[in-house]
Amino acid sequence: MVELHKVDVVYEDGTKGLKDLDIHIDRGELIYITGNSGAGKTSLLRLLYGDLMPARGVVKLEKKNIGHLKSANVAYLRRDIGVVFQDFKLLEDETVYDNLKLPLEIFYLNKTIIQERIYSLLKQLDLFTHRDFLVRKLSGGEKQRIALARALINDPMLLLADEPTGNLDIKNADKVMDILLNKSKKGTTTLIATHDKRIIKEYPGRIIYLEHGKLTYDSAGGRKIQNA
């Protein structure tokens, strides 16, 4: 599903964000990317989304080498990737419903199917009554859940979520994690960058620990990475 081999990422200022990463991820895995601030968690997610390109090494998604794809092909690949970054990137002056409708319209689905998908996700996230609210009227936690709903609305093969429970109370964080776990069981490969030790403990998954851009621990096989 996802393969990284000897991958470096270098930022515009010349700093290495990721160093010599070797990771293999199977379809349907639920993976926590953890580590201190600045460890490279968000950079890893951006790399898999095609928002950052490797300075060295190979990144493959469904056997496609992301580094060799043209911009148009990267955009096409993203149709199968759901993302939740910390800035949300929602349309603030549009309604919740319209924010969720937009990514569905590129698939030319009819209005009934679009409505069914949107209503189903909003009910799961306890936001059905907010469907006609303008996004700018929502709280930070509500926006976070809408961003997650938008990421999931197309049933992506890969979900990349940066601190998806960061602004949520325990009740709503558990709702989000229940949905993500269910999606993972149905085959969506799910990578979650998080500091939240509680959800890692209560919703077991594979743990990848980054330190200064390097992989220092991978719970697949209980491996501590040598020479990290």
| Torsion angle defined by CA atoms of residues 206, 199, 191 and 173, in that order, rounded to the nearest 10 degrees | 160
Tens digits of residue pLDDT in 73-132: 888 889 999 999 999 999 999 999 999 999 898 887 899 999 999 999 999 999 999 999
pLDDT of residue 106: 82
- Total structural domains within the chain: 1
Tens digits of residue pLDDT in 15-60: 999 999 999 999 999 999 999 999 999 999 999 999 999 999 999 9
Half-sphere exposure of 213 (CA within 13 A, CB side): 15
pLDDT of residue 209: 98
How many CB atoms within 10 Å of residue 201? Answer: 8
Residue 227 has pLDDT above 60, yes or no: no
CATH of the domain at 212: 3.40.50.300
pLDDT of residue 108: 74
What is the domain extent for residue 86? 2-224
Residue 228 has pLDDT above 60, yes or no: no
pLDDT of residue 7: 98
Question: Residue 225: which pLDDT band, with cuts at 50, 70 and 90?
Answer: low
pLDDT of residue 72: 85
Residue 226 has pLDDT above 80, yes or no: no
pLDDT of residue 111: 92
Question: Residue 4: which pLDDT band, with cuts at 50, 70 and 90?
Answer: very high
Question: Residue 222: which pLDDT band, with cuts at 50, 70 and 90?
Answer: low
Tens digits of residue pLDDT in 153-212: 999 999 999 999 998 999 999 999 999 999 999 999 999 999 999 999 999 999 999 999
Tell me the Cα Rg of the chain: 18
Structure pTM? 0.93
